[in-house]
Structure 1
Amino acid sequence: MKLPVMMAAAIALTAATPALADHHSSATIVEAAVESPQHETLVAAVKAAGLAETLSGDGPFTVFAPTDAAFNELPEGTVPTLLKPENEGTLRSVLTYHVVPGKVTAAELIGMIEDNDGSAALKTVQGSTLVASLSGGNVILTDAKGGTATVVATDIKASNGVIHATDAVSMPG
């Protein structure tokens, strides 16, 4: 394992979002997201999908949380359409695709990638797989449709898991 590279990547990613890195670990994943000024769209989506109670539960969960900027990159009208009550099932599928059972820290994820010849398959709560890999010291998630998201902040601790912020919304197949 390339520990110096791994540590440098984790430190750099956490430093990129100091408001999240300073979060207190006594809050749940949902409370941590509510406190983040970069995850307002995610919080609204979690509430619209009826997932707030689940993600406030015991867990543990690892959440790859798209930032507001990530949601803004979706085609125009996508977010308002997903937030409509009649699309709750689709929204729930998209959101649970960003959740992995268990607590996976950045160091553990990088170790999994390195131990598996450069990529790690992550089974999501939604049921599909996200593939994590490294590129230029960054963790990259490749979704079922071939889209990629870069992890931009890591190891945001919560009482019921950990959050890693991403710069794109991953889409299930």
Structure 2
Amino acid sequence: MSPIRLLLSAVLIASMGATPLAAQDSSASATKTVVVQGDLVDTLKLSGQFTTLVAGIDATNLAGLLRTNKNLTVFAPTDAAFAAMPAGELARLQADKAAMQRFVLHHVINAPFESVRIKGAKGQVPSGAGDTILIDGSDEAGALKVDGAKIIQADVRTGSGLLHVVDKVLIHGEGAVDPPAEPAPAPAPTTATP
């Protein structure tokens, strides 16, 4: 490529406000930056990249809770994260309102949980669904994770709570460490009759 073409390409990219693809993080390249636009629900809706999550919030009547409780933290999977779910899993959730509500509430913590609390830490925190979420900020490269999903935009402080954008849906059990189940009792010995 001639130096003039290279310079023109650089000017064009700079004028569009974009960075070259090679400089972008692959997980964040498909996600636009979330800008606060009111409360948690309005911010999610107006962003345009959380339509599946917003539909789940609306279908389970959780919008009021997310609009009024200012102490919540929501880990918000993008539409691309939902598209990566196993085939049929989203349809199963959409058909079962109670399961969808538990699923959405698994993405919520009933406390402000800034990224500085995650950095360098690893452990369980209770979710709004009554189970736990594994918070993992122990990565030496600085990646922050929750239930194995990477936080791709942290600390979006909305009018009604804190929002972290994640690259995968949070599935209880992925990376979570629950107490071991009680061992099953050993079967009673049987005696064979000749």
Q: Counterpart of 2:101?
A: 92
* Structure 2 residue corresponding to 1:23, chosen from 36, 56, 68: 36
Query: 1:32-43 residue pairs with structure 2 within 5 A?
Result: 32-43=43-54
* Structure 2 residue corresponding to 1:62, chosen from 63, 73, 90: 73
Asked whether 1:45 is paired with 2:59, we answer no
Which structure would you say has the larger RCO, counting Cα contacts within 8 Å and 6 or more residues apart? 1
Q: Give me the whole-angstrom Cα distance separating, in 1, the residues matched to 2:69 and 2:103.
A: 21
Query: 1:1-173 residue pairs with structure 2 within 5 A?
Result: 19-20=33-34, 22-24=35-37, 27-84=38-95, 87-110=96-119, 114=120, 118-134=121-137, 135=139, 136-142=141-147, 148-172=148-172
Q: Give me the whole-angstrom Cα distance separating, in 2, the residues matched to 1:36 and 1:122.
A: 27
Q: Which has the larger radius of gyration?
A: 2
What count of residue pairs does the alignment treat as equivalent? 144
Q: Is the 8 Å Cα contact of residues 39 and 158 (structure 2) preserved in structure 1?
A: yes
Q: Give me the whole-angstrom Cα distance separating, in 2, the residues matched to 1:83 and 1:58.
A: 25
Question: Quick one: percent identity of the two aligned structures?
Answer: 26
Q: Which has the higher helix share?
A: 1
**Which AA in structure 1 matches 2:136?**
S
Counterpart secondary structure, 2:101: helix
**Which AA in structure 2 matches 1:170?**
L
Q: Which has the higher strand share?
A: 1
Where structure 1 has 5 or more consecutive residues not aligned to the other structure, the ranges are 1-11, 143-147
Where structure 2 has 5 or more consecutive residues not aligned to the other structure, the ranges are 1-24, 174-194
Q: Give the TM-score taking structure 2 as reference length.
A: 0.68
Per the TM alignment, residue 80 of structure 1 is displaced from its structure 2 partner at its CA by 2.7
Counterpart secondary structure, 2:144: strand
Aligned-residue CA RMSD (Å): 1.9
Per the TM alignment, residue 59 of structure 1 is displaced from its structure 2 partner at its CA by 3.0
Question: Which consecutive segments of 4 or more residues in structure 1 shift more than 4 A?
Answer: 15-18
Q: Is the 8 Å Cα contact of residues 93 and 172 (structure 1) preserved in structure 2?
A: no
Q: Give me the whole-angstrom Cα distance separating, in 1, the residues matched to 2:154 and 2:49.
A: 14
Q: Give me the whole-angstrom Cα distance separating, in 2, the residues matched to 1:96 and 1:19.
A: 23
Per the TM alignment, residue 49 of structure 1 is displaced from its structure 2 partner at its CA by 1.5
